[in-house]
Structures are given as structure tokens and as C-alpha cells.
Structure 1
Amino acid sequence: MVKLVVKEARFSSVAEVIERLNPSYPVFMVFPEILKDRARAFLSGFPGTVLYAVKCNPDPHVLRALYEAGIRHFDTASLPEIAKINELFADAHCYFNHPVKSRGALESASDVYGLEDYVVDHMAELDKLCDVAGTDIIVEVRIATEHGRAVYDLSSKFGARSGDAVALLGEANRRGARTAVAFHVGSQCPDPDAYRLAMIDAAEIIRQAGVPIEYLDIGGGFPVEYGSPVPPMTAFFDVIIRARDELGLSMPLYAEPGRALSADGCSVLAQVQLRKDGDLYINDGVYGCLAEIQLGGQKPPLRALRLANGKCGPVSGATRTFRIFGPTCDSLDVFKVQFELPDGIGEGDWIEFRRMGAYSIGMQTAFNGFFTDTVVEVAGLNGA
């Protein structure tokens, strides 16, 4: 079937996507009502300002749904992300939260887009920032933290150690900039206590620095379930509120959720193109929208679907374990994680990979010419 690029189509269900399109190409499906529900829950539960981490999923369908739910602040890590948010939402507030920035990007962020909030974790970056953007800004000093049980340890790349962080806060204040503190406990962190421990570290650094603090940004890392249970989001909020009160942190709190807002609200629909006994070859893979399955060892929920007599329904029967290959000619394009699917699945059937809103469409490549550019919206809160 010839590929159709369906940029703005809306469907009532996943079954309708298959029945109307009969796609031989992968489809990225966005569930706006689920995205709005997750955003509203975070906005009402977190005791402070919520920034959506754009890098997690920059698709305009996702961004618009989150904005409609009330998100007005955005964690942006690059000039293209800043430009996209400003083009979509005139009243949005962007924060340049990448600790390493080019001078050209800083100049545009400051002069063209008027950004006021910038993260640094090294004195040379503070020198660069002040040289380009001046000092009528908020300098957000990012500190390193222990990553605990997080899947991705971000402090292995970014974050100032205690003494350096104190020096950065003092120097930024001496130059006339306003100051803030930030940390990130690591992406997909299932341990609420990691936030309490990091807040203890931040409170001590703030005490030693002795400068006014505009806000404490506790970063992202809030998890979703990929096969293994994680605590409910309310457990994280409760720990953060208690730590704030026990530590006497009177400044506003900020957070940068990405996965917690977007993961549940998107699926990837891929088609089986060949079956070799226990191996399935599909049209998306580790170089495409399913990259994080490989990178993070995630095992998202999935289901097999079949079109018969114009109607879509589940593939029935007993299940077995399958190895899944992506579409490229590269032998690395195979998931280390194996999946249980109905034994009757075969060529022409579809697999819906659910809970794929985080680090998916924004991470795909066009390697070997395979690229997902069909994005559709599906109504409803259950992702059916």
C-alpha cells in the first residue's frame, strides 16, 4: 500500500486507524485526552511550577495537548526547542536548561527570544553566559546528585560538586545575577527518597552559599511503569512536600517532568512484515520511534491486532515469546528485550507498542530511509 502522510487526522480508536488507513508504514498515535489528564494531575499535585521537558517528546500534537491542560513553562535544551515553543505559544516561558550552550545559541536565546533563566555547572560556562547574555538574568546552578535506582544517571555528565556549586552561586551573585539551584536525580527514577536526599544536598549548598535563591528546580526523572511496578506520583509529591517543610526551604519549587506527562499518551503502531518461527520483523525498531526499548531496557505493554473483513480486532490464541527485529539492514536492529505475543501472529498483523510517548518520535533517525512521519490523534482516555 502506498504510504499516506496523515498529519492532522483524528480517529475514535486504534482500530479505526487500522480500518481506515490499513497502514504498511509505522504510525505514531497521540492520545490528547490522556496527555491532558496526566498534565492536570501533575499540575494539581506538585507543590510548585511545572516545566515540561521538551526533549522528551517535541511533537506539536503532544505540546498542544499539554498546553491546553495548563502547562505554560517549558524546559528547553536547544535553540530549535526554544524556537518551536515560542512559535506555538506566545505566552510560554522557556528555560535554557542545558548546562553547555554555544555562544550563538546564547545570543539568540537572549536577544531574539528574551530568555532570563539559564543553567550552568562550571565557572567557564558562567563566564560565557555573562559575556553573551549579561547579568540581568537568573543563573541556575546545577548540582550533581546520587542517581540511586534511576535508569539513566544524568549526573555522570552534568552537575557541579558541592564546593564548586557554592562558588558558582557566590560568583553569579557577585556579578549581579539572580541565582537558583537545580538538580536531576536521573531519568526513570522509581525511588521517591532520591528527591529527599537531593533536596538535603541542595539545602546545604544553599546554606553555605548564603545568597538569595529565586527557586529550587528539582528536575525530572518521575517514572512510569514498564512491566515493573513504580510508586504512584502522589508518593513522590508527598516526599517532596515533607522534605521541603522539614528542611525549611521557603523558595518556590520547580520540576521538569517529561516522561510522567507524555509516556502514557502515545503509542507506536508497527506492522509485521515477516515471521521466521520465533522472530518477527517489523517496520520500526531501535533506530526509530522504539529506540528507548533498547537504550533503557524498557518493556512497554503491547497488543497484537489484525484486520479481517474490514474490521480490526485482537489476534487471539495462546502466547509465546518472540524476538523482534527492526526494518533496517543492520544486525544491531534487534531488541534485547523479548516480548510475549499470540502464537498466531504473522505477516500483515500490527503490534501496538503502548506507553511510548517518552523518548520516541523525538529520537528517531532516518537510517536506511526508514522514518516515521505519520502522526495521528486518537480520542478517549483509555487508549483503545
Structure 2
Amino acid sequence: MKVFPTAEEFLRHHSPERPVLALRPHALVRATEWFVANFPGRVLYATKANDAQPVLDALAEAGIQAFDVASLPEMERVRHIDKAELYYMNPIKSRIAIVRAYREFGVRCFAFDSHDELDKVLAETDGANDLTLFLRIACPNTHSLIPLEGKYGASAEEAPALLLRARQRAARLGITFHVGSQAVVPAAFGEVLTQVGELIVSAGVLVDAIDIGGGFPARYPHSDPPSLDRYMEEIVRAADALAVKHTCELMCEPGRALVAEAEAVIVRVDARRGDTLYINDGAFGALFDAAFSGFRFPVRCVTPGREDLGPAETAFALFGPTCDSADYLPGPFVLPYAVGEGDYLEIGQVGAYGRVLANRFNGFGEFDEVVLTDEPMLSMFGERRSEDREGARSMRLERLRGSRY
């Protein structure tokens, strides 16, 4: 991929017909190094968030050696990374997937949440004595923007018996949970760790690992969570209260927090109707969350020569390029009033789930790719995290006028 200092500089040399995924590897490395340095345990990467090869390579170079994988294709993507350790944390798996994971990809860590699934793992690995088995427990997702409860997880009533049985067969035994995606309250982790501590005591088993899952947040115009330091403080406090704190490994599986700000999408405005812009990417491309999860991504006009569009602002809605009326991004996305057909917009924070959720509906869904070296529009890390809320409006105006970060 070619490298440019900014989206504006890229557009001075190119007039792309397709939307452009813009990767900022330095933002990815910064986030990864922060987690490796500050999380009190082992950091896995949730591969589902973004499985692009440059992303995986940068993560590995920054210190990630363990990967949460949910499918055989994800294992294929990660297997080339030297010394990569794969954790098959999807609680329900096909039998052939278990066989191939164990025998072909060297997977030894499996999640389960029922007696049936435990039976399946034990049977398809021929009763192997080198397994690490993680019991996925159910927990409320009351502090997250995208709840993930209801599909997976053993109940409080089921969990003790499952732990006891797995303890008899596992080389190492773990407990795992997920507080939901984009958890905006640090206490979410502490509350469930307290439940885990109570479960361990009631079951009377020795647990070797606790995987607190993902859910760590990124910054968006609609969601400005506390600093990640606050999350780490809460996790350390709750983990220190566990009876097994001296013998139990702590793990986490960040996805969004590592990659969200590392990728943006550059789109072209193909039409304007009042306060609605029609762009060449949308709900069935990299902007799925803006249509179906209520996300508002940061946006700015990056058309060369259009740096000063005036102070007037308009709250725009966006339509994507497909013929489906569901291809609608309500926003609002605040841009200069003068934005119109032919302008290019940079939409940030799409590094998490944008690329992997894009599909080819209506023949769209193909992207050009570029590397940018400037800063993302929003960040949980470094100086940008310290900017106060009162300064957010002036920051946005400066971005819209084409200033570089």
C-alpha cells in the first residue's frame, strides 16, 4: 500500500472511484503497546474485529502473541504468525472444526458453556490430556452499547457442575465472560469478576485462568468513555479480591479498543438532497455500525482546495450506494454547510468491524487501500485522550477546516 501523510495529500494525487480504506498502523501499534504494558495479565487479540493481514502483522510486531479465533478461516489468517497461540473461544463449534483446530492448527484452548459442548470437545480431541478448557458464563451487559448476552453462557445454576466436571479433564481450567461491546462503565468488569469469585468459592475448584473477554471501548462522537486507566484500576481492584489471585492467570481479548482508530474510510459524495448526502459506501460496506448499531463516526471534509468551507455547519444524514432503503446512516454527521457532490469525506474509527462486515451486495463492497501517517480524529491514547469535553467542538471545527493532526 502507498503511504501518504494525510487523506488530503492522497486526494491531491488520486480521484478514487471506489471508497478507500485508510490504515494508520502507528495508531494500532500505540494502542497495542498500551494494553500490553498496562493490562495485568495476558492480552489476546479478538481476530473478529479486523482480520486484515497488515493489521495482524502490526499487532504481532507490537507484542500480541495470542489470538482469540472463532472459526477455521480466522485460524488460517493467523497461523503464519510466528509462535502464535490460538484460543478457540467460540462456545459452540462443529465437530470437524474442533478436530481441525486441534490436529491441524495446534489449538489447545477451547471454550464451552454446556455439558453437550464439553462432551463434543473431549470426544473430538480423543480425550486429550493437554487441553485448557474455559467455561463461558452468562453475565448481564447493562453497561455496554452493544449487548451480547442471551446467546452464550452457562447460568449461575449450571456453572458449578460444569466447572467440577471440566476440572477432572482439563490440564488447565479457566472461566471466561463478555460484558458486551463498547462497555462505557469500568465497573462492568469489576461486577462480573466479583461474580466469578463467588462462583469459584461455591464450586470449590482450582481455576488456572480467568479471561475477562473484550468490550474495552473506543471513542466516538456519541460515546466518550472514561480513560482506559480507569478500566485497569477497576480490573486490578476486583482481581485482587479473588481467592485465587496468586495462582490464576488473568487474560483479556480486546478487539475494538486496539483497532478502531487505526482505520478510516474515505468516501465520495455522489449527490446531495437537502441535509442528506449520498456517498459511495454505507450500511453494507464499512459503515454497518452507523446503520444498524446507532454509531456516529467522526467525519470531516478532505477535498483538496476545500479547506475553508466557512463556519456554518449542518447535521447531515447519509445514504449508502445500494438500492436498499436500509442503507441509511441517520447520524447526525456534522459537516460544513457547503459540502456537496464531488467532495470527499474521511469517516474515522471504522477499524473495528468495518472491513470485516462489508459485503458485495448490489456489486459494491470493493475498496482501494492506502496508509496514512497523521493522527486519527479521535483517540483513547496519548494527548488526544486528555482533551476535555469543552474543547471537543473547537477540535471538530478545526478538523472540518482541513487542519492536520
Q: TM-score scaled by structure 2?
A: 0.89
**Structure 1 residue aligned with 2:24:** 31
8 Å CA contact retained: 1:270, 1:284: yes
Shift of 1:356: 1.3
> What's 1:3 paired with?
none
Could you tell me how far apart the structure 2 residues matched to 1:52 and 1:238 are?
21
- In 1, are the aligned partners of 2:301 and 2:335 still within 8 Å (CA)? yes
What is the CA deviation profile of residues 144-170 of structure 1, one whole-angstrom value per residue up to 9, with x for unaligned ones? 111122112222211111121111111
Which of 113, 129, 135 is matched with 1:121 structurally? 113
Alignment of 1:127-206 (within 5 A): 127-133=119-125, 134-136=127-129, 137-206=131-200
Which residue pairs with 2:225 in the alignment? 230
1:196 and 1:176 map into 2 onto residues whose CA distance is 27
Q: Does 1:19 align with 2:9?
A: no
Residue 86 (1) aligns with residue 79 (2): yes
CA displacement at 1:178 relative to structure 2: 2.7
Distance (Å, rounded) in 2 between the aligned partners of 1:91 and 1:220: 22
CA shift digits 1:95-129 (9 cap, x unpaired): 00101111111111000011110000111111111
Q: Distance in 2 between matches of 1:50 and 1:164?
A: 28
Instruction: Report the alpha carbon displacement of residue 81 of structure 1 after superposing the two structures with TM.
Output: 0.5
| Alpha-carbon separation, structure 1, partners of 2:170 and 2:293 | 42
Q: Deviations over 1:228-265 (max 9, x none)?
A: 32100000000000111123423110000011111111
Corresponding residue number in structure 1 for 2:234 = 239
Structure 1 CA distance, aligned partners of 2:376 and 2:341? 27
Structure 2 residue runs without a partner (length 5+): 378-404
Listed one character per residue, the Cα deviations across residues 188-235 of structure 1 (whole Å, up to 9, x for unaligned) are 010111111100111111222222222100011011121232100000
Residue 298 (structure 1) aligned with residue 295 (structure 2): yes
- CA-based RMSD of the aligned residues comes to 1.5
Counterpart of 1:174 in 2: which secondary structure?
Answer: helix
TM-score normalised per structure 1: 0.94
The question of 1:112 aligning with 2:109 is answered no
In structure 2, the residue matched to 1:284 is 281
By how many angstroms is 1:347 displaced? 1.0
Contact 2:47–2:69 at 8 Å: present in 1 too? yes
Residue type at the aligned position of 1:238: E
Which structure 1 residue ranges, 5 or more long, are not aligned?
1-7
**Is residue 2:254 matched to residue 1:265?**
no
- Indicate conservation of the 8 Å contact 1:153/1:187, yes or no: yes
Residues 1:315 and 1:42: Cα distance change in structure 2 (over 3 Å)? farther
Question: Once the 2 structures are TM-superposed, how far is the Cα of residue 91 of structure 1 from its aligned partner?
Answer: 1.1
Report % sequence identity: 37
Q: Distance in 2 between matches of 1:50 and 1:291?
A: 27
- Conserved? CA contact 2:160–2:202, under 8 Å: yes
Q: Distance between the aligned counterparts of 2:266 and 2:163, measured in 1?
A: 47
The equivalent position to 1:69 in structure 2, one of 45, 55, 62, is: 62
The letter for the 1-side match of 2:362 is N
CA distance in 1, matches of 2:122, 2:311: 64
Matched letter for residue 78 of structure 2: I
Instruction: Please say if residues 28 and 372 of structure 1, whose CA atoms lie closer than 8 Å, have aligned partners that are also in contact.
Output: no
CA distance in 2, matches of 1:229, 1:49: 26
Secondary structure of 2:321's partner? coil
